[in-house]
Chain A
């Protein structure tokens, strides 16, 4: 006799959920059972929200942040923002973190990750070429590299700094005081503010 299993739709959703980062098979199972009982009323809304993610969100080609389809990018269309300074970050979430610190009113550029050959992330996988074009077109005078301080973040910063120096652009990094080995998500807003204020040329 075959071992008892959940019906196929349940198995299918568990399989989908556990392929998400940070969710193991047990959490996936718990989530699905919750959606079938207590959370049953929320399931349709959840499904709609997931669909909307694909159909009505797009990435701004200039800065790499997200906007709703058919609207202008809230960052790039804001005329009050300085055009001469570009802050380079790894993830869209870093943009919000820096905005909350209130220390920066220039342009952002989301790379979409950091160099990591061991995980098969090469310069071509990041938005580095668009950064160079943008710096030339704006035109920018200073590029701030707000990247993590682990080996991958450092290497990414070195790589970009080398390219920009050839274009004679001033390149700066966040000041000391950032935790060693961490990304921006480990830092409070006050520390970010100070790190931006005290940035140094590399």
Chain B
């Protein structure tokens, strides 16, 4: 195991060595070689550095952490975008228009996203928004869980999409008529019941698997012992969802929306057994949010057997030198990083790195 990890060929096997994008966000055409360890994209704001990071995420995961609207990704006035890259020995290619998606691995067209995602790599995305894990609504914490689970659990993404579509349909049935057609609503509740089992099982396992790595990461980052806790707070009682929804008729008749289910789940995050969102200091919250992302990287590595690609959007700029150093030291070994920043002395000090300056949608190699 140890020897394998040191074998440099292994490192190269798993990395994203090149990325190219056409008509993606502000880029008409851009391409970049990426370093096996660190690639820095430096530039003023709104020059496109985050978009390039986003392109890497879309290439490997077919989704953007910044938007769920596909057309946001297409350059203004164009009908589609294309992202291509070399991941390990494979050439991945992904093109999307408003309605269509074309995926290929080594030139072979992949009809289903599942097949493509099996070949592509795993990703962790870090940015300012991570503070929402502590300060934002439950949807941020569910998204955090979903982003990991959809990369580790086969069938999770399908179950989640099925659940969400059935939920939207059911809510529409509850709202539409003065007299609710419960049989119609139940037809969706049955589908949600099955999908919820898959979602809950995966989320439970994931939260269990996250606790230890998150504790270790927090300890390293805050240079001391802090008692971190994470728990899945289910948006329903234990037991089958269908029966519980049948029991909620009266309430749903009033509120006209689905009362219980995984869409009401939350991830409780605590420090010394108190809710960290309300009681932790801003500094502690910042460390917690980073620790949770580092734990995500660890869980992905454990489950998939490969270190994830870390896409870090302007994370270092906010930290003082000590914290920056601590974070860098605690990034998972052997993981490849692509980092955006507005600048700073630390950039030029990077030893094993490629540095690009990003200006008005074009890249210039600095080193």
Q: Could you list which residues of chain A lie within 8 angstroms of chain B, going by C-beta atoms?
A: 115-118, 122-123, 151-152, 154-156, 158-159, 162-163, 180
Contact B169 A123 (CB under 8 A): no
**A115 surroundings in chain B (CB, below 8 A):** 184, 187
Q: Taking the nearest CB of chain B, how far is it from the CB of A193, in angstroms? A: 23
Q: Taking the nearest CB of chain A, how far is it from the CB of B190, in angstroms? A: 5
Contact A162 B186 (CB under 8 A): yes
Known: A117-B176, A162-B186, A180-B158. A155 touches B181 (CB 8 A): no
Known: A117-B173, A118-B168, A180-B158. A151 touches B183 (CB 8 A): no
**A122 surroundings in chain B (CB, below 8 A):** 176, 181, 184
Overall SS of chain B's interface = helix
**A158 surroundings in chain B (CB, below 8 A):** 186-188, 190-191
Q: Taking the nearest CB of chain A, how far is it from the CB of B125, in angstroms? A: 28
How many inter-chain residue pairs (CB < 8 Å) link A and B?
46
Which of the residues A116, A123, A151, A163 comes within 8 Å of B191, measured between beta carbons? A151
Chain A minimum-CB-distance residue to B170 = A117
Contact A151 B184 (CB under 8 A): no
Known: A123-B181, A151-B162, A154-B191. A117 touches B169 (CB 8 A): yes
Which of the residues A118, A156, A180 comes within 8 Å of B187, measured between beta carbons? A156
CA–CA, A87 to B80, complex, Å? 42
CA–CA, A123 to B187, complex, Å? 11
Can you list the 4 inter-chain pairs with the closest CB atoms, starting with the nearest? A158-B187, A159-B187, A155-B187, A117-B172
* 18 A-B pairs with C-beta separation under 8 A: A117-B169, A117-B172, A117-B184, A122-B184, A151-B162, A151-B165, A151-B166, A151-B188, A152-B169, A154-B187, A155-B166, A155-B184, A155-B187, A155-B188, A159-B184, A162-B186, A163-B183, A180-B158
Known: A118-B169, A123-B184, A159-B187. 15 other contacts (CB 8 A): A115-B184, A115-B187, A117-B176, A122-B181, A122-B184, A151-B162, A151-B166, A151-B169, A151-B191, A154-B190, A154-B191, A156-B187, A158-B188, A162-B186, A162-B187
B166, B168, B181, B187, most chain A CB atoms within 10 A: B187
Contact A118 B172 (CB under 8 A): yes
Contact A159 B183 (CB under 8 A): yes
Chain A minimum-CB-distance residue to B181 = A123
